Amino acid sequence: GGIITLDPGYKNTGSCKSEITYLDGEEGVLMYRGYPIEQLAEKSNFTEVMYLLLNGELPQADQLSKFENDIKDHDMVSEDITKILAAFPSSAHPMGVLSTLTSSLTAFNPKAVNVKSEADMYRAAVTLLGKFPVLASWTLRKMKGWPLNYSDNKLGYVENFYQLMFKQPNKDLEMDPIVIDALDKLLILHADHEQNCSTSTVRLVGSAHTGLFASISSGVSALWGPLHGGANQAVVEMLELIQEDGGNVQKWVDKAKDKNDDFRLMGFGHRVYKNFDPRARIIKKAADQILDKLGIQDEALEIAKKLEQAALEDDYFVSRKLYPNVDFYSGIIYKALGIPTEMFTVMFAVGRLPGWIAQWIEMRKNNEPIGRPRQIYTGPAKRDYLDISAR
Protein backbone atom coordinates (compact mmCIF):
# COMPACT_ATOMS: atom_id res chain seq x y z
CA GLY A 1 0.00 0.00 0.00
CA GLY A 2 0.92 3.68 -0.11
CA ILE A 3 2.36 5.78 2.68
CA ILE A 4 -0.05 6.41 5.52
CA THR A 5 0.09 9.74 7.32
CA LEU A 6 -0.52 9.35 11.02
CA ASP A 7 -2.61 12.09 12.62
CA PRO A 8 -4.13 10.94 15.93
CA GLY A 9 -7.12 13.06 16.83
CA TYR A 10 -7.16 14.42 13.24
CA LYS A 11 -5.34 17.56 14.30
CA ASN A 12 -4.43 18.45 10.71
CA THR A 13 -6.67 16.23 8.62
CA GLY A 14 -9.61 17.68 6.76
CA SER A 15 -12.42 15.15 6.39
CA CYS A 16 -14.75 17.03 4.06
CA LYS A 17 -15.57 20.22 2.22
CA SER A 18 -18.39 22.13 3.87
CA GLU A 19 -20.40 25.26 3.14
CA ILE A 20 -22.04 25.45 6.55
CA THR A 21 -19.78 26.94 9.23
CA TYR A 22 -16.59 29.00 9.02
CA LEU A 23 -14.23 29.03 11.96
CA ASP A 24 -10.90 30.84 12.35
CA GLY A 25 -9.36 29.69 15.60
CA GLU A 26 -6.42 32.12 15.54
CA GLU A 27 -8.68 35.14 15.11
CA GLY A 28 -11.63 33.83 17.15
CA VAL A 29 -14.10 34.06 14.26
CA LEU A 30 -17.24 31.94 13.91
CA MET A 31 -19.86 32.30 11.15
CA TYR A 32 -22.86 30.22 10.11
CA ARG A 33 -23.36 30.37 6.33
CA GLY A 34 -21.33 33.59 6.32
CA TYR A 35 -23.22 35.34 9.13
CA PRO A 36 -21.07 36.27 12.16
CA ILE A 37 -22.18 34.51 15.34
CA GLU A 38 -22.30 37.84 17.19
CA GLN A 39 -24.96 39.17 14.79
CA LEU A 40 -27.00 35.99 14.88
CA ALA A 41 -26.92 35.86 18.70
CA GLU A 42 -27.96 39.51 18.90
CA LYS A 43 -30.56 39.81 16.16
CA SER A 44 -31.79 36.41 15.03
CA ASN A 45 -33.69 33.62 16.78
CA PHE A 46 -33.12 29.88 17.04
CA THR A 47 -35.81 28.89 14.53
CA GLU A 48 -34.33 31.20 11.89
CA VAL A 49 -30.87 29.84 12.62
CA MET A 50 -32.11 26.26 12.22
CA TYR A 51 -33.55 27.25 8.84
CA LEU A 52 -30.33 29.02 7.89
CA LEU A 53 -28.14 26.02 8.74
CA LEU A 54 -30.38 23.60 6.86
CA ASN A 55 -31.14 25.75 3.80
CA GLY A 56 -28.15 28.03 3.44
CA GLU A 57 -30.14 31.29 3.52
CA LEU A 58 -32.10 33.23 6.11
CA PRO A 59 -35.84 32.61 5.57
CA GLN A 60 -38.40 35.06 4.25
CA ALA A 61 -41.52 35.33 6.43
CA ASP A 62 -43.56 32.75 4.48
CA GLN A 63 -40.63 30.33 4.34
CA LEU A 64 -40.17 30.63 8.07
CA SER A 65 -43.81 29.97 8.87
CA LYS A 66 -43.90 26.95 6.54
CA PHE A 67 -40.77 25.61 8.24
CA GLU A 68 -42.28 26.12 11.70
CA ASN A 69 -45.49 24.40 10.65
CA ASP A 70 -43.60 21.48 9.12
CA ILE A 71 -41.79 20.97 12.44
CA LYS A 72 -45.07 21.21 14.36
CA ASP A 73 -46.62 18.58 12.06
CA HIS A 74 -44.02 16.15 13.37
CA ASP A 75 -43.88 16.94 17.06
CA MET A 76 -45.84 13.92 18.32
CA VAL A 77 -43.86 11.01 19.75
CA SER A 78 -45.17 7.46 19.70
CA GLU A 79 -46.74 6.49 23.01
CA ASP A 80 -44.72 3.27 22.90
CA ILE A 81 -41.55 5.29 23.43
CA THR A 82 -42.82 6.16 26.91
CA LYS A 83 -42.52 2.43 27.71
CA ILE A 84 -38.83 2.50 26.81
CA LEU A 85 -38.43 5.59 28.98
CA ALA A 86 -40.28 3.91 31.84
CA ALA A 87 -37.76 1.07 31.90
CA PHE A 88 -34.88 3.41 32.84
CA PRO A 89 -34.07 4.08 36.48
CA SER A 90 -34.55 7.73 37.40
CA SER A 91 -30.82 7.81 38.23
CA ALA A 92 -29.94 7.25 34.54
CA HIS A 93 -27.97 10.12 33.03
CA PRO A 94 -30.24 12.14 30.71
CA MET A 95 -27.71 11.97 27.86
CA GLY A 96 -27.76 8.17 27.84
CA VAL A 97 -31.54 8.22 27.87
CA LEU A 98 -31.64 10.80 25.07
CA SER A 99 -29.31 8.79 22.87
CA THR A 100 -31.44 5.67 23.35
CA LEU A 101 -34.75 7.40 22.69
CA THR A 102 -33.35 9.13 19.60
CA SER A 103 -32.18 5.82 18.22
CA SER A 104 -35.57 4.27 19.02
CA LEU A 105 -37.28 6.81 16.72
CA THR A 106 -35.93 4.67 13.89
CA ALA A 107 -38.33 1.89 14.84
CA PHE A 108 -41.38 4.14 15.02
CA ASN A 109 -40.82 6.26 11.91
CA PRO A 110 -39.80 3.80 9.18
CA LYS A 111 -40.54 6.32 6.40
CA ALA A 112 -37.92 8.69 7.73
CA VAL A 113 -35.20 6.05 7.87
CA ASN A 114 -34.32 5.19 4.28
CA VAL A 115 -33.89 8.65 2.84
CA LYS A 116 -32.60 9.29 -0.67
CA SER A 117 -34.31 12.27 -2.28
CA GLU A 118 -34.10 15.86 -1.02
CA ALA A 119 -37.78 15.67 -0.06
CA ASP A 120 -37.07 12.56 2.04
CA MET A 121 -34.18 14.33 3.74
CA TYR A 122 -36.29 17.38 4.51
CA ARG A 123 -39.04 15.19 5.99
CA ALA A 124 -36.52 13.31 8.15
CA ALA A 125 -35.04 16.63 9.27
CA VAL A 126 -38.32 18.25 10.36
CA THR A 127 -39.44 14.97 11.93
CA LEU A 128 -36.38 14.95 14.16
CA LEU A 129 -36.51 18.70 14.88
CA GLY A 130 -40.11 18.18 16.03
CA LYS A 131 -39.56 15.15 18.20
CA PHE A 132 -36.11 15.77 19.72
CA PRO A 133 -37.16 18.54 22.17
CA VAL A 134 -39.97 16.27 23.38
CA LEU A 135 -37.50 13.46 24.05
CA ALA A 136 -35.04 15.91 25.65
CA SER A 137 -37.75 17.16 28.01
CA TRP A 138 -38.71 13.59 28.87
CA THR A 139 -35.15 12.86 30.05
CA LEU A 140 -35.59 15.67 32.60
CA ARG A 141 -39.08 14.62 33.63
CA LYS A 142 -37.92 11.01 34.05
CA MET A 143 -35.08 12.12 36.30
CA LYS A 144 -37.45 14.24 38.38
CA GLY A 145 -40.32 11.75 38.40
CA TRP A 146 -42.68 14.29 36.79
CA PRO A 147 -45.52 13.32 34.41
CA LEU A 148 -44.63 13.73 30.72
CA ASN A 149 -45.69 16.69 28.61
CA TYR A 150 -46.57 16.92 24.93
CA SER A 151 -45.91 19.71 22.45
CA ASP A 152 -48.12 22.77 22.36
CA ASN A 153 -48.70 23.92 18.78
CA LYS A 154 -49.50 27.46 19.81
CA LEU A 155 -45.99 28.08 21.06
CA GLY A 156 -42.74 28.87 19.29
CA TYR A 157 -39.94 26.29 19.27
CA VAL A 158 -38.04 27.51 22.32
CA GLU A 159 -41.14 28.36 24.40
CA ASN A 160 -42.54 24.94 23.60
CA PHE A 161 -39.31 23.28 24.68
CA TYR A 162 -39.34 25.27 27.92
CA GLN A 163 -42.96 24.31 28.59
CA LEU A 164 -42.23 20.67 27.76
CA MET A 165 -39.56 20.70 30.44
CA PHE A 166 -41.22 22.67 33.20
CA LYS A 167 -45.03 22.75 32.93
CA GLN A 168 -46.71 20.95 35.83
CA PRO A 169 -50.28 19.64 35.73
CA ASN A 170 -52.90 22.11 36.95
CA LYS A 171 -50.35 24.86 37.36
CA ASP A 172 -49.68 27.81 35.10
CA LEU A 173 -46.14 28.09 33.88
CA GLU A 174 -44.65 31.52 33.99
CA MET A 175 -42.64 32.18 30.83
CA ASP A 176 -40.32 35.01 31.68
CA PRO A 177 -39.17 36.60 28.39
CA ILE A 178 -35.71 37.02 29.94
CA VAL A 179 -35.49 33.27 30.44
CA ILE A 180 -36.83 32.41 26.96
CA ASP A 181 -34.49 34.92 25.29
CA ALA A 182 -31.50 33.59 27.19
CA LEU A 183 -32.36 30.03 26.20
CA ASP A 184 -32.82 31.10 22.59
CA LYS A 185 -29.41 32.77 22.56
CA LEU A 186 -27.68 29.74 24.08
CA LEU A 187 -29.28 27.45 21.49
CA ILE A 188 -28.08 29.74 18.67
CA LEU A 189 -24.53 29.75 20.04
CA HIS A 190 -24.47 25.95 20.13
CA ALA A 191 -26.20 25.34 16.78
CA ASP A 192 -23.14 24.35 14.75
CA HIS A 193 -19.38 24.20 15.09
CA GLU A 194 -18.11 22.52 11.93
CA GLN A 195 -16.20 19.22 12.31
CA ASN A 196 -16.18 18.82 16.10
CA CYS A 197 -16.19 15.33 17.69
CA SER A 198 -19.98 14.78 17.70
CA THR A 199 -20.52 16.23 14.22
CA SER A 200 -17.69 14.15 12.80
CA THR A 201 -19.32 11.15 14.49
CA VAL A 202 -22.68 11.95 12.87
CA ARG A 203 -21.00 12.26 9.46
CA LEU A 204 -18.91 9.11 9.91
CA VAL A 205 -21.88 6.98 10.99
CA GLY A 206 -24.01 8.50 8.23
CA SER A 207 -21.30 7.85 5.65
CA ALA A 208 -22.23 4.15 5.85
CA HIS A 209 -25.72 5.30 4.75
CA THR A 210 -27.02 4.65 8.24
CA GLY A 211 -30.27 6.56 8.83
CA LEU A 212 -30.46 10.06 10.24
CA PHE A 213 -31.88 9.15 13.65
CA ALA A 214 -29.28 6.45 14.36
CA SER A 215 -26.51 8.81 13.18
CA ILE A 216 -27.74 11.60 15.47
CA SER A 217 -28.06 9.15 18.36
CA SER A 218 -24.32 8.47 17.95
CA GLY A 219 -23.71 12.22 17.94
CA VAL A 220 -25.52 12.51 21.27
CA SER A 221 -23.23 9.83 22.71
CA ALA A 222 -20.13 11.63 21.45
CA LEU A 223 -21.33 14.94 22.85
CA TRP A 224 -21.84 13.35 26.28
CA GLY A 225 -18.08 13.07 26.98
CA PRO A 226 -16.54 15.59 29.41
CA LEU A 227 -13.90 16.67 26.88
CA HIS A 228 -16.72 17.72 24.55
CA GLY A 229 -20.29 18.80 25.45
CA GLY A 230 -20.13 17.12 28.85
CA ALA A 231 -17.74 19.91 29.86
CA ASN A 232 -20.64 22.25 30.68
CA GLN A 233 -21.79 19.94 33.47
CA ALA A 234 -18.19 19.33 34.55
CA VAL A 235 -17.50 23.08 34.79
CA VAL A 236 -20.31 23.76 37.24
CA GLU A 237 -19.39 20.68 39.30
CA MET A 238 -15.80 21.95 39.35
CA LEU A 239 -16.87 25.46 40.43
CA GLU A 240 -19.01 24.00 43.22
CA LEU A 241 -16.07 21.89 44.34
CA ILE A 242 -13.79 24.95 44.40
CA GLN A 243 -16.44 26.83 46.36
CA GLU A 244 -16.78 24.04 48.95
CA ASP A 245 -13.00 23.88 49.15
CA GLY A 246 -12.81 27.53 50.24
CA GLY A 247 -12.61 29.30 46.88
CA ASN A 248 -8.83 29.32 46.46
CA VAL A 249 -8.67 29.45 42.66
CA GLN A 250 -4.87 29.49 42.44
CA LYS A 251 -4.75 26.07 44.08
CA TRP A 252 -6.94 24.68 41.28
CA VAL A 253 -4.98 26.44 38.56
CA ASP A 254 -1.85 24.80 39.99
CA LYS A 255 -3.60 21.44 40.09
CA ALA A 256 -4.53 21.81 36.40
CA LYS A 257 -0.88 22.58 35.56
CA ASP A 258 0.44 19.57 37.45
CA LYS A 259 1.30 16.90 34.89
CA ASN A 260 1.10 14.18 37.58
CA ASP A 261 -2.52 15.11 38.21
CA ASP A 262 -5.04 14.34 35.50
CA PHE A 263 -7.30 17.22 36.58
CA ARG A 264 -7.88 19.76 33.80
CA LEU A 265 -9.49 23.13 34.06
CA MET A 266 -12.88 22.28 32.62
CA GLY A 267 -14.19 24.83 30.13
CA PHE A 268 -10.65 25.83 29.20
CA GLY A 269 -8.78 25.05 26.01
CA HIS A 270 -9.96 24.14 22.57
CA ARG A 271 -8.62 22.16 19.65
CA VAL A 272 -9.19 24.97 17.18
CA TYR A 273 -9.46 28.24 19.14
CA LYS A 274 -6.04 29.55 20.08
CA ASN A 275 -7.67 32.81 21.08
CA PHE A 276 -10.87 33.62 22.93
CA ASP A 277 -13.75 31.37 21.88
CA PRO A 278 -16.13 34.01 20.45
CA ARG A 279 -19.06 32.12 21.96
CA ALA A 280 -17.45 32.39 25.42
CA ARG A 281 -17.23 36.18 25.04
CA ILE A 282 -20.96 36.40 24.25
CA ILE A 283 -21.91 33.96 26.99
CA LYS A 284 -19.83 35.69 29.66
CA LYS A 285 -21.61 38.96 28.96
CA ALA A 286 -24.99 37.23 28.82
CA ALA A 287 -24.32 35.48 32.15
CA ASP A 288 -23.72 38.83 33.83
CA GLN A 289 -26.85 40.38 32.31
CA ILE A 290 -29.15 37.43 32.97
CA LEU A 291 -28.14 36.95 36.60
CA ASP A 292 -28.52 40.68 37.06
CA LYS A 293 -31.98 40.80 35.44
CA LEU A 294 -33.18 37.76 37.36
CA GLY A 295 -31.73 39.17 40.58
CA ILE A 296 -29.60 36.09 41.19
CA GLN A 297 -26.30 36.18 43.00
CA ASP A 298 -24.27 33.12 42.26
CA GLU A 299 -21.00 32.52 44.03
CA ALA A 300 -20.09 30.15 41.16
CA LEU A 301 -20.02 33.09 38.73
CA GLU A 302 -17.62 34.99 40.98
CA ILE A 303 -15.39 31.96 41.27
CA ALA A 304 -15.51 31.44 37.51
CA LYS A 305 -14.35 35.01 36.90
CA LYS A 306 -11.52 34.71 39.41
CA LEU A 307 -10.50 31.36 38.00
CA GLU A 308 -10.51 32.74 34.46
CA GLN A 309 -8.38 35.67 35.49
CA ALA A 310 -5.88 33.52 37.38
CA ALA A 311 -5.54 31.18 34.41
CA LEU A 312 -5.23 33.96 31.84
CA GLU A 313 -2.37 35.45 33.88
CA ASP A 314 -0.57 32.16 34.24
CA ASP A 315 2.28 31.34 31.92
CA TYR A 316 1.15 27.70 31.58
CA PHE A 317 -2.18 28.75 30.07
CA VAL A 318 -0.75 31.73 28.15
CA SER A 319 2.02 29.73 26.47
CA ARG A 320 -0.40 26.97 25.46
CA LYS A 321 -3.00 29.48 24.26
CA LEU A 322 -5.66 28.05 26.54
CA TYR A 323 -8.70 30.33 26.79
CA PRO A 324 -12.20 29.85 28.17
CA ASN A 325 -14.42 27.96 25.73
CA VAL A 326 -18.20 27.97 25.17
CA ASP A 327 -18.77 25.67 28.14
CA PHE A 328 -17.02 27.83 30.74
CA TYR A 329 -19.94 30.19 31.41
CA SER A 330 -22.92 28.43 29.81
CA GLY A 331 -23.61 26.22 32.83
CA ILE A 332 -23.90 29.27 35.07
CA ILE A 333 -26.70 30.60 32.85
CA TYR A 334 -28.46 27.22 32.68
CA LYS A 335 -28.30 27.08 36.47
CA ALA A 336 -29.81 30.57 36.72
CA LEU A 337 -32.63 29.48 34.39
CA GLY A 338 -33.48 26.63 36.77
CA ILE A 339 -32.09 23.82 34.65
CA PRO A 340 -30.54 20.96 36.66
CA THR A 341 -26.82 20.29 36.16
CA GLU A 342 -27.35 16.82 34.67
CA MET A 343 -29.42 18.44 31.90
CA PHE A 344 -26.77 20.90 30.69
CA THR A 345 -25.39 18.62 27.98
CA VAL A 346 -28.93 17.80 26.83
CA MET A 347 -29.45 21.55 26.34
CA PHE A 348 -26.30 21.58 24.23
CA ALA A 349 -27.68 18.65 22.18
CA VAL A 350 -30.95 20.47 21.47
CA GLY A 351 -28.89 23.43 20.27
CA ARG A 352 -26.51 21.33 18.16
CA LEU A 353 -29.27 19.27 16.52
CA PRO A 354 -29.81 21.52 13.44
CA GLY A 355 -26.04 21.60 12.86
CA TRP A 356 -25.78 17.81 13.02
CA ILE A 357 -28.69 17.44 10.61
CA ALA A 358 -27.35 20.06 8.18
CA GLN A 359 -23.95 18.34 8.18
CA TRP A 360 -25.50 14.90 7.70
CA ILE A 361 -27.57 16.14 4.73
CA GLU A 362 -24.58 17.92 3.19
CA MET A 363 -22.53 14.73 3.51
CA ARG A 364 -25.23 12.68 1.73
CA LYS A 365 -25.86 15.31 -0.96
CA ASN A 366 -22.15 15.49 -1.72
CA ASN A 367 -22.08 11.70 -2.10
CA GLU A 368 -19.18 11.45 0.29
CA PRO A 369 -17.49 8.03 0.40
CA ILE A 370 -17.74 5.85 3.47
CA GLY A 371 -15.46 7.16 6.24
CA ARG A 372 -12.70 4.68 6.83
CA PRO A 373 -9.42 5.93 8.36
CA ARG A 374 -6.20 3.97 8.00
CA GLN A 375 -3.78 2.88 10.74
CA ILE A 376 -0.19 1.97 11.35
CA TYR A 377 -0.02 -1.53 12.76
CA THR A 378 2.23 -1.94 15.82
CA GLY A 379 1.25 -5.44 16.99
CA PRO A 380 3.21 -8.74 16.84
CA ALA A 381 4.65 -10.08 13.60
CA LYS A 382 3.27 -13.36 12.23
CA ARG A 383 3.39 -16.26 14.71
CA ASP A 384 1.91 -19.75 14.83
CA TYR A 385 -1.13 -20.84 16.76
CA LEU A 386 -0.40 -22.98 19.83
CA ASP A 387 -2.84 -25.45 21.23
CA ILE A 388 -4.18 -24.37 24.65
CA SER A 389 -2.21 -27.14 26.41
CA ALA A 390 1.04 -25.84 24.95
CA ARG A 391 0.66 -22.15 25.97
Q: Considering only residues 216-255, where is the footprint of ligand CMC by CB under 6 A? A: 227-229, 231
Closest distance of CB 134 from ligand CMC, Å:
24
Report d(CA 259, CA 252) in Å as an integer: 13
- Minimum CB distance to ligand CMC smaller for 76 or for 227: 227
Closest distance of CB 12 from ligand CMC, Å:
12
Residue 40: in which H helix or E strand, if any?
helix 37-43
Report d(CA 242, CA 246) in Å as an integer: 6
143, 150 Cβ separation under 8 angstroms: no
- Minimum CB distance to ligand CMC smaller for 66 or for 320: 320
- Minimum CB distance to ligand CMC smaller for 85 or for 186: 186
Kindly state whether residue 320 participates in binding ligand CMC, applying the rule CB under 6 A: yes
3-state SS string for 7-30: CHHHCCCCCCCCCCEEEECCCCEE
Dihedral pair phi/psi, residue 31, rounded to 5°: -135, 140
Q: Which of 270, 277, 298, 314 is catalytic?
A: 270
378, 8 Cβ separation under 8 angstroms: no
- Minimum CB distance to ligand CMC smaller for 226 or for 371: 226
Closest distance of CB 273 from ligand CMC, Å:
8
What is the pattern of x (binds ligand CMC, CB under 6 A) and - over residues 158-197?
A: --------------------------------------x-
Report d(CA 47, CA 354) in Å as an integer: 10
Among 126, 326, 346, 357, binds ligand CMC (CB under 6 A): 326
Dihedral pair phi/psi, residue 285, rounded to 5°: -65, -45
327 annotated active-site: yes
Closest distance of CB 70 from ligand CMC, Å:
29
What residues pair up with 57 in beta bridges, in sequence order?
none
Which residue, 327, 106, 114, 77, is CA-closest to 217? Answer: 106
Q: Is 268 helix (H, G, I), strand (E, B) or coil?
A: strand
Stretch touching ligand CMC by CB under 6 A, among 22-30, 157-165, 267-275, 375-383:
267-275
Chain positions contacting ligand CMC, by CB under 6 A: 9, 196, 227-229, 231, 256, 264-271, 320, 322, 325-327
Q: Which residues are identified as catalytic? A: 270, 327
